[in-house]
Structure 1
């Protein structure tokens, strides 16, 4: 499999691999209670940010040993409303255990950057890579059912809700529901 040419670019975004300095740019996002609330982890400390970013720096493609692609979402220079480029979140895709044809996708966006379609733009770019570059059969997303913003994004990018698992995950002291969305390569609408 050919290595993916990075960074990926869209009209307003650059999706690039991690670098050490991303610990500082991600800490203000991941340390927020409202961001970590629906994640499997607690709000980040500076130490956790450094460890997480060091791990993610190796996730540079599904064809690599990591079997994962972790990308930082940053706005491109020169957008009207923003000066310079800003890290606004991240998006990742990783192969499902034992499969080279199924992958899970996940995203985190700074709440301050929501409402502008950035997450939609990034997710569509990564789905295009998943199906067109890697030739995947299926991509799925799992999330806490209370994470309505994430569920809306999954629907907006054309993923189908396939399951609502009731009280199936013990998270932060309570049983929570899980939503599972999926997209098959044959589901895609090509423009």
Structure 2
């Protein structure tokens, strides 16, 4: 990846040849001061997932999120990964907790839902060193 390039992708989740959901990964620059900006390029990512309700509760989202984290930390060498969801989406933030992420932010009336209501949001994060401690071989 060259300076200025960003990695952003969406991947399909398939089971037995059928689409059951998707994954999102966006690599970004970390916030920094000008003097060290070159060291902050492409050092963090946001991840996300959406799963067909018929396939929820079977561990697929947890497995996919863990795979995204492995990719971020072991393959891409990132420093920090975040994930967000509506605060009332307990199944999603439980996935974040199961893969070792910690809740860092609660935002009041942060996101506009398709229902037209403003909903609270949460953000979870994990650092590379935390991943490394939990996944030593």
TM-score range, shorter chain: 0.7 to 0.9
Query: Displacement, 1:69?
Result: 2.4
Structure-2 separation of matches of 1:131 and 1:116: 25
Identify, as 1 or 2, the structure richer in strand. Answer: 2
Among 54, 68, 91, which residue is 2:8 paired with? 68
Deviation (angstroms), 1:106 = 0.6
Structure 1 residues 85 and 113: CA distance shift in structure 2, 3 A: same
1:87 pairs with one of 19, 25, 47: 19
Equivalent of 2:61, from 119, 141, 153? 119
Q: How high is the TM-score relative to the length of structure 1?
A: 0.58
Is 1:136 the equivalent of 2:78? yes
Counterpart contact for 2:6–2:42, Cα < 8 Å:
no
The normalised TM-score by structure 2 is 0.79
Q: Give distance in 2, aligned partners of 1:70 and 1:138.
A: 19
Q: Judging changes above 3 Å, is the alpha-carbon distance between structure 1 residues 187 and 144 closer, same or farther for their aligned structure 2 residues?
A: same
Stretches of structure 2 lacking an aligned partner (at least 5 in a row): 31-40
How far, CA to CA, are the matches of 2:54 and 2:48 in structure 1? 19
1:164 has 2:106 as partner = yes
Aligned residue pair count: 122
In structure 1, the gaps of 5 or more residues are: 2-62, 76-83
Q: Which digits, 9 at most, give the CA deviation of each residue in 1:2-57, with x for residues without a partner? A: xxxxxxxxxxxxxxxxxxxxxxxxxxxxxxxxxxxxxxxxxxxxxxxxxxxxxxxx
Partner in structure 1 of residue 28 of structure 2: 96
Q: How far apart in 2 are the matches of 1:66 and 1:86?
A: 30
1:168 and 1:124 map into 2 onto residues whose CA distance is 26
Q: Deviations over 1:56-98 (max 9, x none)?
A: xxxxxxx9956212111112xxxxxxxx422110111102356
Please give the alpha-carbon distance, in whole angstroms, between the structure 2 residues aligned to 1:111 and 1:163.
26
Q: Deviations over 1:131-165 (max 9, x none)?
A: 01110000001111111111111111111001111
Residue aligned with 1:115, SS: coil
